């Protein structure tokens, strides 16, 4: 069975600070991993995805994530937070024709 | 190109009533998925269509939920009768290929059962 754990349901950072959102996964097969973002009153938007190519994946809006098999992790980072990054972020692993999501992390960015 | 469209965006109904949610996938996308997020919990898979056929409906909560995709185009998800615990956000996604490497999500329908 596959599962995803996102550590921290709420994360708060200052504008300009490093953003680090944690995701650990469990998978019996080589995983495909995703980060999605949901801005207020909007749908789910794909930030980035890992599909067994490069372990460091770059996404939109300056975000990136690194796949670490030994740690079963796929943490999302951004060097400098912007106010517009305030949103809810979801990590997901692809199962057989379905996505298994983590519970989500709400990111707050304060001046 | 239009994205995945869901409507209504919001629906408030009373317990016991019926509600039908609609999803229009991206044109040409054979794969259509429904997901649901109950308040404060993770987003969970409901079912998967390939064209008009249900490939996997293992996530459907119970027989009060009925999904259809007649003609392999848009899909509807009907809840009858609605219960309080059905409240949440219902997402639809579509993709041309199986799997989610190129899937696109709609904006979701927020359902509130009172």
Whether the CB of B48 is below 8 Å from some CB of chain A: the reply is yes
The model's pLDDT over B13-63, given as tens digits with 9 standing for 90+, comes to: 999 999 999 999 999 999 999 999 998 789 999 999 999 999 999 999 999
Return the beta strands (E) in B1-114 as ranges.
5-7, 10-13, 19-24, 31-37, 43-50, 53-56, 65-68, 75-79, 88-95, 104-105, 109-113
**Local confidence pLDDT in tens for the 111 residues of chain A:** 789 999 999 999 999 999 999 999 998 888 899 999 999 888 899 999 998 878 999 999 999 999 999 999 999 999 999 999 999 999 999 877 889 999 999 999 999
Whether the CB of B33 is below 8 Å from some CB of chain A: the reply is yes
C-beta atoms of A94 and B91 within 8 A: no
Mutate to test the interface with A, among B57, B105, B109 (most CBs of A within 10 A): B105
C-beta atoms of A97 and B41 within 8 A: no
* Nearest-angstrom CA–CA distance, B84 and B87: 6
Nearest alpha-carbon partner for A91 in A11, A7, A30: A7
Whether the CB of B39 is below 8 Å from some CB of chain A: the reply is no
User: What are the residues whose beta carbons fall under 8 Å from the beta carbon of A71, sequence distance 6 or more?
Assistant: A24
Q: Can you give the pLDDT at residue A97?
A: 81
Residues of A within 8 A of B35 (CB-CB) are 99, 101
């Amino acid at each position: 069975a596959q599962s995803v754990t996102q550590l921290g349901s709420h994360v708060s950072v200052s504008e300009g600070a490093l953003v680090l959102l944690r995701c650990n996964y469990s998978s019996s097969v080589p995983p495909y991993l995703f980060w999605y973002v949901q801005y207020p009153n909007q749908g789910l938007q794909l930030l980035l995805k890992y599909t067994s190519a490069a372990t460091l994946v770059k996404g939109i809006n300056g975000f990136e994530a690194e796949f670490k098999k030994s740690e079963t992790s796929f943490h999302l980072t951004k060097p400098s937070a912007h106010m517009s990054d305030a949103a809810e972020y979801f990590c997901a692993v692809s199962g057989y024709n379905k996505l298994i999501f983590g519970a989500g992390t709400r990111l707050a960015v304060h001046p | 190109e239009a994205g995945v469209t869901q409507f209504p965006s919001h629906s408030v109904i009373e317990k016991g009533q019926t509600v039908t949610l609609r999803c229009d996938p991206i044109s040409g996308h054979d794969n259509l998925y429904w997901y649901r997020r109950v308040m404060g919990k993770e987003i969970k898979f409901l079912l998967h269509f390939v064209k008009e056929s249900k490939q996997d409906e293992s996530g459907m909560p119970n027989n009060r939920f009925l999904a259809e995709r007649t003609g392999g185009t848009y899909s509807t998800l009907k809840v009858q009768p609605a219960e309080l615990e059905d409240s949440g956000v219902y997402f639809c996604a579509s993709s041309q290929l199986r799997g989610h490497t190129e899937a696109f999500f709609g904006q979701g329908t927020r359902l509130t059962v009172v």
